[in-house]
């Protein structure tokens, strides 16, 4: 890939010069669900208005168990998610945001001291770096150096998504995860539409066909991508609607664990887990993904991959583990290949 591509220039122009607030967007991509958990709402209240105004994300990127974590945000924009995470990781955690658009970074950097004081920290636990998410090596990020990576409505904008996932895999610690929201299409977007600067800027043109994304993620080492949440996008602009025709776009949050021993399919080893109910804010039920809502105290049957996602990660102390790897009982039911997203909008409201 060239160091700086036309797509990079277009995106910088769009997010640096054309848009001034989320109200300028032409789709409801930046709508965030009504049911934001209370502890996230509490953290959002303290984020500075100017940072909030330039929020262009499409989902909620705050997974469980963040205290003390070292987190990287790919395409951090004006810093809304970083500032929420800065609060949730606590004073001993650390958050790094990376973005290539100076105007966005300027807003993010302007409020570091404001939030440090607001949270009562003795020194900042956050920094923003100017750079490209395809080339994290240029920013000096070492292998296995982050517990969690987040990203909110950014990877679709990258002209080299393979490089983004490769770098994400490299800098994640084993057992770490990338937990991110992005836009996907129900089919491959035709080249002519990918080249349209408005569609690209609006996160529609560069969106991957969902199955191409799954295959790419697997190729880059994230062997069993887990869908956490999804919703169809509404397009409020006739011209864009016409250009997109029958292509349907979705916002979806995936979590991809760096666990090299995961298998290509969910295999059954007769294993189960019991959730202890000890994860803060999720005492009754842990939603590992859309298909794994794990109630506290209940024996919950799991495939080998889910077992690893709980046993080899920061979730381990919160579970009892039943079974081993001695006997393989065949495929674990429920591995599907249909469109993974729901086509009807459920509860969503504009940000
Ligand atoms: C849709 S906005 C989302 C910003 C932020 N995540 C949020 O939720 O408000 C996309 C952001 O990603 C940044 N971005 C896009 N492609 C990038 C790349 N290849 N490298 C670094 N930043 C990038 C843009 O500059 C922009 O700030």
pLDDT tens readout for residues 296-307: 999 999 999 999
Burial class (CB in 10 A: 0-12, 13-18, 19+), 151: buried
- Residue 273: alpha-carbon gap to chain centroid: 26
Specify the ligand 1 atom closest to the Cα of 134.
Answer: 19
Specify the ligand 1 atom closest to the Cα of 160.
Answer: 19
Q: Which of 5, 44, 99 to mutate to test the pocket of ligand 1 (most atoms within 8 A of CB)?
A: 99
Confidence of residue 28 (pLDDT cuts 50, 70, 90): confident
**Domain coordinates of the chain in residue numbers?**
6-257, 271-322
The CA 240 to ligand 1 mean position distance, Å, reads 21
Using the predicted structure, report yes or no on whether residue 319 has a pLDDT greater than 80.
yes
Beta carbons of 181 and 150 less than 8 angstroms apart:
no
Burial class (CB in 10 A: 0-12, 13-18, 19+), 198: middle
Is the pTM of the predicted complex or chain greater than 0.85?
Answer: yes
Specify the ligand 1 atom closest to the Cα of 99.
Answer: 22
Using the predicted structure, report yes or no on whether residue 236 has a pLDDT greater than 60.
yes
Residue 139, C-beta contacts closer than 8 angstroms, at least 6 positions apart: 98, 129, 131
Confidence of residue 343 (pLDDT cuts 50, 70, 90): confident
The CA 314 to ligand 1 mean position distance, Å, reads 28
The CA 218 to ligand 1 mean position distance, Å, reads 23
Of residues 214 and 31, the one with the higher pLDDT is 214
Backbone angles phi, psi at 124, to 5 degrees: -60, 145
Looking at domain 6-257, what is its CATH homologous superfamily? Vaccinia Virus protein VP39 (3.40.50.150)
The CA 205 to ligand 1 mean position distance, Å, reads 15
Mean pLDDT, residues 250-258 taken together? 98
Beta carbons of 77 and 98 less than 8 angstroms apart:
no
Confidence of residue 120 (pLDDT cuts 50, 70, 90): very high
The CA 104 to ligand 1 mean position distance, Å, reads 8
Specify the ligand 1 atom closest to the Cα of 158.
Answer: 19
Give percent of the chain with pLDDT exceeding 70.
Answer: 95
The CA 39 to ligand 1 mean position distance, Å, reads 25
Q: Give the residues surrounding ligand 1 with Cβ less than 6 Å away.
A: 8, 11, 15, 55-57, 75-77, 80-81, 98-101, 104, 132-134, 152-154, 157-158, 203
Neighbouring C-alpha atoms within 13 Å toward the C-beta of 323:
23
What is the pLDDT of the chain when averaged over all its residues? 94
3-state secondary structure of 78: coil
Of residues 50 and 35, the one with the higher pLDDT is 50
- pLDDT on residue 295: 98
3-state secondary structure of 32: strand
């Amino acid at each position: 890939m060239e160091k700086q591509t036309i797509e990079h220039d277009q995106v910088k122009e769009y997010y640096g010069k054309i848009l001034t607030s989320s109200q300028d967007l032409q789709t409801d991509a930046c709508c965030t669900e009504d049911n934001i958990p209370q502890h996230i709402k509490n953290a959002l209240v303290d984020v500075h208005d100017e940072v909030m105004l330039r929020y262009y994300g499409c989902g909620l990127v705050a997974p469980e168990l963040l205290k003390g974590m070292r987190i990287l945000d790919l395409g951090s924009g004006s810093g809304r998610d970083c500032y929420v995470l800065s609060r949730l990781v606590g004073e001993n955690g650390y958050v790094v945001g990376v973005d290539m658009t100076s105007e966005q970074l300027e807003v993010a950097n302007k409020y570091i001291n404001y939030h440090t004081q607001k949270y009562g920290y003795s020194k900042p636990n956050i920094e923003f770096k100017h750079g490209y998410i395809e080339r994290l090596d240029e920013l000096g990020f070492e292998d296995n150096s982050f517990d969690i990576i987040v990203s909110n409505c950014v990877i679709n904008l990258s002209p080299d998504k393979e490089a983004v996932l490769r770098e994400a895999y490299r800098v994640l610690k084993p057992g770490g995860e990338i937990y991110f929201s992005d836009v996907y299409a129900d089919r491959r977007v035709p080249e002519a539409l990918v080249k349209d600067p408005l569609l690209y800027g609006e996160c529609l043109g560069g969106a991957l066909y969902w199955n191409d994304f799954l295959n790419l993620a697997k190729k880059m080492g994230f062997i069993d991508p887990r869908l956490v949440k999804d919703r169809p996008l509404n397009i409020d602009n006739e011209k864009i609607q016409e250009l997109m025709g029958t292509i349907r776009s979705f916002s979806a949050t995936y979590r991809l664990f760096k666990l090299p021993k995961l298998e290509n399919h969910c295999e059954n080893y007769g294993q189960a887990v019991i959730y202890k109910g000890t994860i803060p804010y999720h005492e009754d039920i842990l939603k590992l993904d859309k298909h794994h809502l794990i109630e506290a105290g209940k024996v919950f049957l799991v495939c080998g991959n889910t077992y690893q996602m709980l046993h080899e990660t920061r979730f381990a102390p919160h579970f009892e583990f039943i079974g081993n790897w001695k006997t393989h009982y065949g495929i674990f039911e429920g591995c599907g290949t249909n469109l993974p997203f729901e086509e009807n909008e459920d509860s969503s409201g504009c940000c």
